[in-house]
């Protein structure tokens, strides 16, 4: 699948940013611009998100293949990979399949574990099934403004911040009607695959995924990466380092963008 992307900067080496669930490349524009002085930065829309094509398939084998195809089309043999949430798992899966094509790997607020039991995995995680259901139940033919959509979502989703994030996926078509950019049906039917973790035992038995530096960034107010996850991370990525960014929940790039860029620069020694 040929992914939509945005590009910033001309300096080498290439750095590819992969967004998370419900996200899109435009969520990462400010981060990309801040890094464009030292990298050729590409920010992709993953399948079923943003301006990329839709598909009924939405799992990590598919998404890592999309990323490989993207890099091939851009002539990128090796890149720094930065992934947030679902995007973090995409770049981890890519690294498992093609470690020779990874210059460095940075995972933002996601571990390689299964997140199927979100209630235990994170105190900040919302119920994704309920969120998607709420989005799908909105009768867009009766929506005349984003405020209307926000009021409709508020019936099921109390957090204004979460509603605002989800509504970034709402677009107005040339006809004036509203439509979702995100493929809600495909995401809903593939939630189990999205929450799936990596095969810790099998990867550890092979000596783990090595050959490049690895950083796991946690939001200080997020519960997506816990202390109990660190051993699993090291079993899969033996050289992995970890850092926590204070004052950030799961959406680190939106809540502490300057600290995130500073952390990435420090890790990559630039």
Residue 57, phi-psi category: left (phi > 0), alpha (psi -120 to 50), beta (remainder): beta
CA 53 – CA 45 distance, rounded (Å): 9
Catalytic hit among 19, 49, 58, 250 = 250
Residues 109, 217 contacting (CB under 8 angstroms) = yes
Structure tokens at 45: 């829309």
Backbone φ/ψ region at 28: left (φ over 0), alpha (ψ -120 to 50), beta: alpha
- Decide: residue 173, CB within 10 A, 0-12 exposed, 13-18 middle, 19+ buried: exposed
Helix runs in the chain, H state only: 29-35, 60-73, 86-97, 118-121, 128-137, 146-154, 160-166, 184-189, 191-195, 200-205, 230-236, 252-255, 257-267
85 is catalytic: yes
| Residue 250 a catalytic site member | yes
Question: Which of 52, 85, 122, 222 is the catalytic position?
Answer: 85
Catalytic center residues: 85, 250
């Amino acid at each position: 699948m040929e992914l939509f992307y945005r590009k910033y900067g001309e300096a080498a080496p290439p750095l590819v940013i992969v967004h998370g669930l419900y996200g899109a490349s435009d969520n990462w524009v400010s981060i990309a611009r801040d890094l464009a002085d030292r990298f050729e930065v590409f920010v992709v829309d993953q399948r079923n998100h943003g301006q990329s094509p839709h598909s009924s398939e939405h799992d990590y084998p598919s998404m890592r293949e999309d990323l490989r195809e993207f890099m091939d089309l851009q002539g990128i043999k090796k890149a720094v990979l930065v992934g947030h949430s679902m995007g973090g798992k995409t770049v981890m899966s890519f690294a498992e399949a093609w470690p020779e094509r990874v210059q460095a790997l940075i995972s933002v607020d996601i571990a390689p574990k299964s997140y199927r039991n979100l209630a235990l995995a994170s105190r900040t995680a919302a119920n994704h099934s309920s969120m998607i259901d709420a989005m799908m139940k909105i009768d867009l033919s009766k929506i005349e403004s984003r405020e209307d959509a926000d009021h409709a979502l508020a019936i099921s989703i109390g957090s204004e911040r979460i509603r605002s994030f989800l509504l970034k996926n709402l677009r107005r078509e040339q006809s004036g009607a509203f439509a979702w950019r995100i493929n809600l049906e495909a995401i809903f039917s593939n939630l189990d695959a999205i929450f799936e973790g990596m095969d810790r035992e099998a990867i550890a038995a092979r000596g783990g995924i090595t050959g490049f530096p690895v950083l796991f960034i946690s939001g200080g107010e997020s519960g997506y990466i816990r202390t109990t996850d660190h051993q699993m991370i090291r079993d899969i990525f033996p050289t992995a380092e970890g850092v926590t960014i204070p004052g950030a929940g799961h959406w680190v790039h939106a809540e502490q963008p300057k600290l995130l860029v500073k952390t990435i620069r420090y890790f990559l020694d630039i």
